[in-house]
Structure 1
């Protein structure tokens, strides 16, 4: 074996060992899409690069006639009075999932996984997660939840295998 083959083999083995593989996260059995629509306040998240410095983050959903989900994601960047950022990804419900798995498209043709892993019976709070355990969102219908509810939702996120040291509580002010 020459040095290039050995080097390629070693680098390939290192690359494969760095790729974590997690079992798929369980989702809720059924989401009534119409009830899920509306405003959700992002209470905490392991953020994407876009939302790392988000304040007052709100995700709003509206069901389109074609079954897709019109989404509006807004937040103030950097501080509570920072510039308002607005994004309009489109959600696509995956057939046969009880409406609990979506593809969220920010840029065509890529659809990011969006799994509703927890939903309060009264649709007052939810957790959206991903099998890759890279991003997660704890959301509620109100910008503030009790410390007990937050602790319970946080523990649920930990039970999925997420690193809680990455979880960021999103500040909300009365400027919403």
Structure 2
């Protein structure tokens, strides 16, 4: 029985090695580096997303960023649950900019000690629209400084998201009040 832990460890190593060689591992998502983190601070309306579990039925979603004195980023994500007049929900993760990434890669911590990857894949020159994603291509957020963007901009951003390797059929447009 003392060999069981070694057998399990060897099996895990073999499985991990095979997975890395399988060709199913997606490349890292490209970044919008350099990102001026100070300009990125403030409110961003979620225009569309491939949502995480808590935000699957989000309305009027807004992500707000504020730099803390230690350089971390206090984040407040607020949305209405189920309808524009639904109950307001909030989350308060803290972001940490990953050194050497030009401000474009953050670790977003919802629960200590786990940090989720948060990659700013696109931000326009005026810091009015952004695409945030993850290398796993499981979640993505199209956000803007206003609750609506033009149809032309929306379609252009969706094409960018598709070019990043996302299945855009999973994208949900987030309703905002008129």
**Equivalent of 2:150, from 146, 151, 163?**
146
Classify the secondary structure of the residue corresponding to 1:21: coil
Aligned to 1:171: 175
Aligned to 2:33: 29
RMSD over equivalenced CA pairs, Å: 1.9
1:64, distance to aligned residue in structure 2 (A)? 0.4
User: Residues 74-108 of structure 1: CA distance to partner in whole angstroms, max 9, x if unpaired?
Assistant: 00001111110011000000001110000000000
Classify the secondary structure of the residue corresponding to 1:26: coil
1:171, distance to aligned residue in structure 2 (A)? 0.3
- Distance in 2 (CA, whole Å) between partners of 1:18 and 1:169 is 34
**Aligned pair count?**
163
Aligned to 1:116: 120
Classify the secondary structure of the residue corresponding to 1:50: helix
- Distance in 1 (CA, whole Å) between partners of 2:166 and 2:24 is 12
1:82 aligns with 2:97: no
Aligned to 1:62: 66
Classify the secondary structure of the residue corresponding to 1:157: helix
1:61, distance to aligned residue in structure 2 (A)? 0.2
Stretches of structure 2 that go unaligned for 5 or more consecutive residues are: 1-10
1:149, distance to aligned residue in structure 2 (A)? 0.1
Aligned to 1:130: 134
1:20, distance to aligned residue in structure 2 (A)? 3.3
TM-score between both structures, scaled by the size of structure 2:
0.87
Structure 1 window deviating more from structure 2 (110-119 vs 15-24): it is 15-24
TM-score between both structures, scaled by the size of structure 1:
0.88
**Equivalent of 1:41, from 42, 45, 50?**
45
1:26, distance to aligned residue in structure 2 (A)? 1.0
1:18, distance to aligned residue in structure 2 (A)? 9.2
Superposed counterparts of 1:88-99, under 5 Å: 88-99=92-103
Aligned to 1:20: 24
